[in-house]
Structure 1
Amino acid sequence: MQPKTSLAPAFMSQPSITAADFGQLPDGQTAQLFTLRNGRGLEVRITNYGGTVTHLLAPDKDGQPGDVVLGFDSLDGYFSPEYQQAGPYFGALIGRFGNRIARGRFELDGQTYELATNNGSNHLHGGLRGFDKVLWQVEVLVDPAPALRLSYISPDGEEGYPGTLTVSVVYMLTPDNGLRISYGATTDKTTIVNLTNHCYFNLSGGARPDVLGHELQLRAARYTVVDDTLVPTGELRPVAGTPFDFTAPHLIGERIAQVPGGYDHNWVLGGNGFRLVATAAEPTTGRTLDVYTDQPGVQCYSGNFLDGSLTGKNGLVYGKHAGFCLETQHFPDSPNQPDFPSTVLRPGELFSSVTEYRFGVKR
């Protein structure tokens, strides 16, 4: 990929954060919408309902801002019958366990735990009422940059998971146009945890109806092979010679027809610690996205299940492949796969993870 250029001084302004009501939940509680600006052209709007990123505005190569995530302008969109049926998790915080757990069952310290099977025969994204469907407590932070700290206490037994899990997630805009998400969790009883965010990106800012023309590069030499229900078989297969090889840049749509159903797989990331793991670029706008994380995997999902039944912001119809996700994570079904990195969290331990989505332009 070509070198990226920094933003011109014309984008400079003062960092800020503001709040407004976003709508009322069915139980009468009011959700809020927070708008964060970093003073360098990046703006994000986040509601404390589900910790959901509703809007993310980033400048293109000509300095024009565009909304690069899928979502809705009001809370009603997230409660519509069509959205509830489709369940795409637009922009939401995902927990307690992101991705799938086979047959909704796992064993921990000799005890078997049963979870909801809300994705065919499997458990998906925390169950029927995961973290995407709760109202988070909010603390506004301004130093060293505009940020939100979202907090939630998940009681012992919620959705079948053991232990009271105390969760904190901080969304922060960085000076170099990154949306940094810092996750933390503790428990009073041994449990499992796998937290992520489910933003759907379309770097064209709505100018293109799908993301098949986006260029993608993943720093991953292997991926987790899945069965026909998208649960890992346990095999970590080399990407070389397959349509899963994004070690060099390829268009998302270049080989997608060779993957039954499209991309919805976990890539095994190389390296350790907080590092660059993925890069995407949209050629017409010049927008780029770099993903940094300390997690061992990333789920690349190409929006295969979007079917045009949802109309989002600015009247855009979200059809197949309207957005793509890069969900940083531990591997799916890790509790049932002893050879995968562990997702077990014990009392006295701290789950801590950081992911950053950094936006730029190339000309």
Structure 2
Amino acid sequence: METSFIKYGRKDEKDLCEITLTNDAGMQVKVLNYGATLEKVLMPDGKNMILSLEKPEDYSKERNYLGGTVGRICGRVKAGQWKHGNEIVQLPLNEGKNHVHGGLGIDTKVWDFKLHAEDDKAKVDLFYFDPDGSNSFPGNMKIHVVCELDNENNLKYEINAVSDKLTIFNPANHTYFSLGESAKNLKLKVNADYYVPVAADGIPTQGMASVKDTAFDFTKEKTVNGALTADDEQIKSRRGMDHPLILNGNSPAVVLSSKNHKMTMTTNAPAVVVYTGNHFDHTGLAKNIGQYDGITFEAQCPPVGGSDLGEITLLPNEKYERKVCWNFE
């Protein structure tokens, strides 16, 4: 197995690099140290399993979240407020009246990295130090992301972090999977009996609801387009899927299939936020991407409708660990 990298630019007085992990079957994974971004997943037949911009240089020019490690929070916080005890921490309001995706978050930063190759795995470790007060989040935070490829076509992705102050942390990888096709044509199975309905602004409204008799029932395999075309107010209000599915603990969490390929996902996260790329419209640097061309499974704690963010609160020096594995066939 092999690792390599090329320098393609420079930003914030740091080198921008494209890192390549290659296994013995010829599968390649390309990772950018800009945003700890999963850029491409290339099967031995050359098919790219995820949505990608046309060239590495494009990622830092326009924020599309494609493959990025989004944080410190991936998702929305109502009114940007986190209340703990009698204290309220106010996060920047960057989506109307709410906070989304960590402000100018860690997916927009240049990370340090080191490579490591063995007979049975190739990996890159990426590191970023996010200082106290960054985007109004308390705590100096050291964040470590691992991307590791093996000879069974498993791509492991981990986020590890620690803060020196009480803080909130709920990041996720934001890769859009396509399996070389438009995501709306893919078949999907998710081990989730409940989902979280949201208001028109994407904020949860009522806690969990059963997926039974809704567009969000993927307990048995069905096409993604079957959900997108359903007569469901939740789908209509968000122009597609943009909802947390609460995992029931059975493995695998997600199975996504095309005619020729399959992606199987396992994770230690309690939920996946499923987003079908509703906003893409062949414009800007993502001009090669249209609506519903890709689908995300953001492994994280589900968002809530209020300011009690206890589930994503980290104590000082408490270790955070999120694990995801995508297997490609």
One-letter identity of the residue aligned with 1:222:
Y
Q: Is residue 222 of structure 1 aligned with residue 194 of structure 2?
A: yes
Cα distance change, pair 193–92 in 1 and its aligned pair in 2 (3 A): same
1:212 is paired with a residue whose SS is helix
One-letter identity of the residue aligned with 2:112:
Q
Q: Is residue 253 of structure 1 aligned with residue 253 of structure 2?
A: no
Q: Match for 1:181 among 148, 157, 161? A: 157
Q: Is residue 300 of structure 1 aligned with residue 277 of structure 2?
A: no
Structure 2 unaligned residues grouped into runs of 5+: none
Q: Is the 8 A contact 1:335 1:343 kept in 2?
A: no
Aligned partners of 1:188, 1:132: CA distance in 2, in Å? 21
Q: Match for 2:66 among 87, 90, 97? A: 90
Cα distance change, pair 153–334 in 1 and its aligned pair in 2 (3 A): farther
CA apart distance, 1:73: 4.2
2:229 is paired with a residue whose SS is helix
One-letter identity of the residue aligned with 1:358:
N
CA apart distance, 1:96: 0.6
Cα distance change, pair 19–29 in 1 and its aligned pair in 2 (3 A): same
TM-score between both structures, scaled by the size of structure 2: 0.93
Map of 1:6 onto structure 2: none
Map of 2:2 onto structure 1: 16
Q: Is the 8 A contact 2:91 2:137 kept in 1?
A: yes
Q: Match for 1:233 among 205, 208, 217? A: 205
What is the aligned length? 322
Map of 2:242 onto structure 1: 264
Aligned partners of 1:324, 1:306: CA distance in 2, in Å? 11
Aligned partners of 1:119, 1:174: CA distance in 2, in Å? 39
CA apart distance, 1:231: 0.9
Map of 2:263 onto structure 1: 289
CA apart distance, 1:183: 1.3
CA apart distance, 1:92: 0.4
% identical aligned pairs: 28
Q: Is the 8 A contact 2:82 2:308 kept in 1?
A: no
Cα distance change, pair 334–167 in 1 and its aligned pair in 2 (3 A): farther
Aligned partners of 2:146, 2:60: CA distance in 1, in Å? 25
Q: Is residue 138 of structure 1 aligned with residue 113 of structure 2?
A: yes
Q: Match for 2:321 among 352, 358, 361? A: 352
The C-alpha deviation readout for 1:282-321, integer Å capped at 9, x for no partner, is 12xx100001000000011111000110455xxx721111
Map of 2:18 onto structure 1: 33
The C-alpha deviation readout for 1:202-228, integer Å capped at 9, x for no partner, is 112xxx4x2211000000000011111
Aligned partners of 2:90, 2:255: CA distance in 1, in Å? 37
The C-alpha deviation readout for 1:83-113, integer Å capped at 9, x for no partner, is x3xx430010111111111111111243211
Q: Match for 1:69 among 44, 47, 50? A: 50
TM-score between both structures, scaled by the size of structure 1: 0.84
Aligned partners of 2:43, 2:102: CA distance in 1, in Å? 30
Q: Match for 1:343 among 308, 312, 315? A: 312
Q: Is the 8 A contact 1:31 1:49 kept in 2?
A: yes
The C-alpha deviation readout for 1:95-138, integer Å capped at 9, x for no partner, is 111111111111124321111122222111111x2010011111
Cα distance change, pair 263–121 in 1 and its aligned pair in 2 (3 A): same
Map of 1:45 onto structure 2: 30
Cα distance change, pair 44–334 in 1 and its aligned pair in 2 (3 A): farther
Structure 1 unaligned residues grouped into runs of 5+: 1-14
2:7 is paired with a residue whose SS is strand
Cα distance change, pair 349–334 in 1 and its aligned pair in 2 (3 A): farther
One-letter identity of the residue aligned with 2:83:
E
